Structure 1
Amino acid sequence: MRSKGSGSRRRRLAALLGATALAVTAGGALAAPAGAAANVDFATHCIPPAVAGIPPIDGTTTAIITVDDATPQVGDTVTVTYTVVTPAASNPTAISLPADIMTPSGKVALGGAQTGDVTVAGPKKNDPVAGNAPFPSFSMTGTFTVTTAGAITLSPGDYNIHTSYILELDTPCTVTSPPAPVSETITASDAPNPNTRAIQLGSASGNPGDSVTVTGSNFTPGATVTLAGRSGTNQTGDTATTTADASGAISGSLTLNDKTTTGVVAYEGASWTDDLGAGPATYTVIDNTPIPDNAQKLTTTVHAGTLSMSQAGDTVDLSAVDYGEGGASSGDLNTVTVQDFRGGPAGWSLTGKVTDFTGPGAKIDAGALSWTPACATEAGSPSTCQAGSAGTVGSSGATLASTPNGTLTGGEFTVDAQLSLNVPAFTPPGSYSGVLTLTLS
């Protein structure tokens, strides 16, 4: 599974220093979205809770779909984010709603080379909403497996706003004339021996004890397929089985009780494997446990952070070499610290590329710089850092370190590298400087 990072900002610092110095730049924060996503408007029909005593709302929703990988291969898992910028519905009551009581869920419609729906869900997170005021913007995420090469379009679909305050209430909003306009398009390519098993859920959230419909495709005909809940990277005790038909399709239902559930998977065999499994598809079990008399329910929220990096310095003095001998001009990269506090499924990649080293009327080619990367993972981090391969950096670049995609990723990491610049024997005497740019995405 490949990962191209997602996010909203990129920071680069550059410095040049003489005395045979290597100047280092560092890219920080999140890369820009992989695809050319755009806000779209579409007519929406929303039904307020019956207790509100008001008629349906016909309005306009503004939304945007973004992905973490706009050029996946068949078999890859793509993370989709559905952001409702301006909901069509408002708080249906005159009662002010406190912060963090909204749990959104919805669907993203696929079209073009691959069709179907992607279930998405968001955290219980919102700013306070005044009585009868518009609902604030919110985001929902989900994943799908690419099964077909070609252009795949993504359009906003129906969404639901669940509120947990005094009563458990839903405000479902449907696209009046589906499909809504296309907000994002990705281009998928073929891959050798891909796992194209894929699943879809009938809904993205429910109360404890509710059943969700699970459908899927491209399983082994006649195989017994296990449906299971996931809590992060761990399987919960909620399981069921179904059998793939002659075409490899599955259809079954799974009852979910575990309130820590984050998704649903389906797999062949005795336990989950990437080769014989599909998912996870995003699912949230809403905690609707009634509060006993003379008791108080305490709730906290964990807010997602960002992907960022910092470095111990921005210049490196490489060792000097002698005219007529040349050879390795060596030094150590300033330590880079990567913090991944997003709490989502995406890994990250830290890459570097270098310019030519320029000096007094001459230059040393960028391809003369090589490195030997090293990476350490802070204890307790969900992800494990992997050092890039030793070798040439050059102007085309190389990977310094990375972490893989997963159900739940994140952590803190320190990245180092031994640097070596191969200086030609009769390079004119003087100071030579190049710029190494590090990009985190």
Structure 2
Amino acid sequence: MAVLAAASGGALSAPAAAEGGVSTGGPAGQVEFPTHCLPPQEAGLPPADGPTTARITVDNPAPQVGDTVTVTYHVATTPAVNPAGTELPADALTPTGRVLLSGAQSGEVTVVGAKQNDPVQAGAALPAVTMTGTFTVTAPGQTALAPGAYTLHTSHPVDLDTTCTPAAEPSAVPVSARLSASELPTANLRSVFLAGASGKRGAKVKVTAAGFAPGAAVTVAGRAGAAETADRVTATADTGGVAVAELAVTDKATTAVVAYEGAAWTARQGSGPAAYAVIDAAPTASQRVVATVEAGVLAMTQTGEDITLGAVPYGDGGAAPGRIGTVTVTDARGGPAGWSLIGKVTDFTGPGGVRIPGASLSWTPRCVVVAGPSACAVGSAGVVGPEGAVLASTADAAVVGGTFTIDAGVTLEVPRYTPPGAYTAVLTLTLS
């Protein structure tokens, strides 16, 4: 069970970022761009035009698809001035803004800063601010990050917003940082099991190959080191991707058995090798050896407790993104039954009892098989809601079990003009 929180604030969206920009000669990535700052009407001040000096950094410039990247937007200088008409006291300035993504991944990242500043004289320039936010990498390749609009909210003597927007065309907004994302590596989930580890020359051994494409022609062959022997048979994978064959081992050089689709075995596309010994016909004595495999349990663990969603601007509403803590499911029961992981979410409750329906929360699940023969099916992307939705599951099959890591990106659609404040709900995950 996890607690989710969303916030409604005041930020201005900005145009899409593009390559190009002006370096200031300062720290790496620091850029300068013309800005139009619109003071609040209550201040009676004219618009302020001038350069903004800013820098964007990321905590991971080389992520994998699916990773969460933290973005920091630092505004070093701004043409915006104190709109209060009197001295602005310490810790009365709250910044929010947008970081623009372009290239392999496009869109905007909402960033928010702490209420932290030194006193500012009436009419003096507002001080430097730092804002942070996160986003999930959804595409491989290079993504450029550029500074967008930012809003400087002052809370003395009344609440006032000064909004600063890049004055340049979108194609001229300077790029301050870049990251290069790589695809998530794909695991080989194929496996091969032998009914026996040895046999006389010419004897048949039952081979079960799992994890193949349903209906695929699977070759089961003997191996001697890195080379195949003459022992070979073909079987067709059933709807669960399992192929069963009886391999006659006639080549005394055979020391292992492999299974694969296509023309030849590879470490990424095949399964095995599983060790096998050919016993020459000779007087032997044998003993029956019995080993017992004990069944375990179906269990899950989850990292973290709370999920904090991104802030959305008051009045605009929109999507508040986030990600649930990673869930690890372990199925060591040894039976034929699969499992389902289902999530349900309550309504979000905020200041004064205002509610956002739980049906406003949607997710995009992801499941990775760490080990084991079962394939993991992710639930459909869409609404979670109080009625519940499937996060991930495995099907019933002859051979099941394994370890799985599951997570999901979540998005709360916040209605327009939802009162500012924190909204909290409870997301419950049930494994059965």
Q: Taking structure 2 as the reference length, what is the TM-score of the superposition?
A: 0.43
TM-score (norm 1): 0.42
Structure whose alpha-carbon radius of gyration is higher: 2
